[in-house]
Structures are given as C-alpha cells and as structure tokens.
Amino acid sequence: MRKWRKRGIVVVACLVATMAIAGAVDCMRALAFERPIFARPWAMADDGGSGIYQGLGYSVEIKGIFLAVEEEPRGVTETTINLFGIPIVSAARN
C-alpha cells in the first residue's frame, strides 16, 4: 500500500514540475515578445497570432502585427500574463 502511495506522490510531483516548467518557459518567451510554445491558442484574431493562449493555470494575451510586411515593429507588440485569471505581468514594446 505504501509503495503505491509513494509512486502516486512521485507521479503528481513530476506532473506539477512539468506544468511549472512549461509555464515558466511560455512566460519568458512572452516577455521576450515571442509567442508561447506550450500554451494552446484559445481566442485568436485573424491577423496570424494575436489573441489569448491558454496554458494549465496560466494564460498569455498577445497583441501584435503579424501580417503587415511594411509596418514596424513586426511581431508581438504587447503581452499580458495571467496566473489563475489574475494579471501578473504586462509589457509593451516601443
């Protein structure tokens, strides 16, 4: 019985660690004005990348210029990171 309990705790700890690492990577990418890797697109605009990306316990809202070739800066221009629905960090590129 203890053997199964110990294995269960190890499995849950590994899943929590994986979720935390994926969230940290996506948050670092968002603050570097890049799109998240692990979060799924949830509510997207028709411009090729702006929208809300939903992860496990976090979301990243991205606004940017993705389709226009001549406008600068191209790519992500604003980002907001939410943890369990609470805004944590916002950044805007000049």
Sign of CA dihedral 78, 79, 85, 89: negative
Burial class (CB in 10 A: 0-12, 13-18, 19+), 34: middle
What are the structure tokens assigned to 32, written together?
A: 């570097």
Residues of the chain with pLDDT under 50: none
For the whole model, what pTM was predicted?
0.80
Instruction: Return the pLDDT at 71.
Output: 62
* Residue 14 amino acid letter: C
What is the DSSP-derived secondary structure letter of residue 63? E
Tokens of 47: 């411009």
Which pLDDT score is estimated for 60?
93
What per-residue confidence (pLDDT) applies to 38?
93
27 vs 72: CA distance, rounded Å: 23
